[in-house]
Amino acid sequence: MRKIIIDTDTGSDDAVALIMCLREPSVDIVALTTVSGNVPVEQATLNCLMSAEIAVGKDKVPPVYVGADRPLIRDRLHARNVHGNDGMSDCGLIHPSVKPVEGVCACDAIIDLVKKYPDVIEIAVIGPVTNLALAMMKDPETMKHLKCIWTMGTCGFGKGNTTPVSEFNVYADAEAYKVMMDFGVHVYVGGYDLCTGAAAWFDEDTRRLMDSGKEAARYAVMCNEALARFCLAIGGQRRIDLPDAVSLSPMLWNDVIVKAVPCVSHVCTEHNETYGQVIFYDGGMLAGMGPGFENSYYGKKEPNCTVIAEINNAMYKRRLEELLTK
């Protein structure tokens, strides 16, 4: 069975992704690690513990390790305006009975698990990738034996949600994202562009989940109420876009992938206007690759990532609902 670590800055969309992955029987979630992002790491840890407890019961929660409380270089950035002060819509849902592991930080836990299961461990990073970057910098020899990386990050082939060209998870710590993308372990990217259309939950979806009476389904809807209000305010339509669940669905179910594109990536960290932008080049011929452009950066690189460009939204939503209501 595949062994996966999930690294999360648990806000409301992370919570849905955690329940989805923890309830999927074909994978073994060997650990959860938390990081500063949507909310401070202390709150992200409480939210992670509660979501895992809702998913599988307190006796089956995987080990949870607390990670970085700030980006590698920049100041902390949170998204409380989107997810609420507690990251879960401030409706009193967070009261876990389980505790995180004491005395082992997320960075070391990741390294230890890759050492224990070389070339087997996959990691899904659904927040800023600070913990993973720290592990790569601390023990690169071990981390080269990470099997692969799945990330909810970047705009994909669309536009940003934090600046016109950047997505929150990258923008919160682009230096860490650059470490990850340049490290040499293949990265499967699910961008923000996947989640804003038919993959989102609309009123009929949330009504059906609430009517199921199932605890996990109701929790998933209730914790996303602030996100639904935010989407209404900025887009004129009440919906719940779930970037983390959408982006991890190809990790769980290969057959939901409609289009995946091998790409060369470049993470921008130098200029304020483009900070956090991730440029993807799909290998096609460009004008700047003809005579006189022999030193083109992109034309001389092998793909370091695969960008998931399209998924079967109906299949993903059906499977997610089945897991939430089982």
Give the H/E segment covering residue 181.
Answer: helix 174-182
Q: Which of 9, 13, 14, 244 does the annotation list as catalytic? A: 9
Residue 44: what are its φ and ψ, rounded to 5°? -60, -35
How far is Cα 204 from Cα 226, in angstroms, rounded to an integer? 18
Q: In DSSP terms, which residues pair with 201 in a beta bridge? A: 240
Reading the block at residue 132, the tokens are 């993973």
Residues 6+ apart with CB under 8 A from 29: 4, 5, 6, 21, 22, 62
Order of strands across the sheet that contains 64-66: 64-66, 27-34, 2-8, 122-125, 148-152, 187-190, 305-311, 257-267, 278-281
Q: Please say if 75 is a catalytic residue.
A: no
Task: Give residue 163's identity as a one-letter amino acid code.
Answer: T
Q: What is the 3-state secondary structure (H, E, C) of 17-71?
A: HHHHHHHCCCEEEEEEEECCCCCCHHHHHHHHHHHHHHHHCHHHCCCEEECCCCC
Give me the active site residues, please: 9
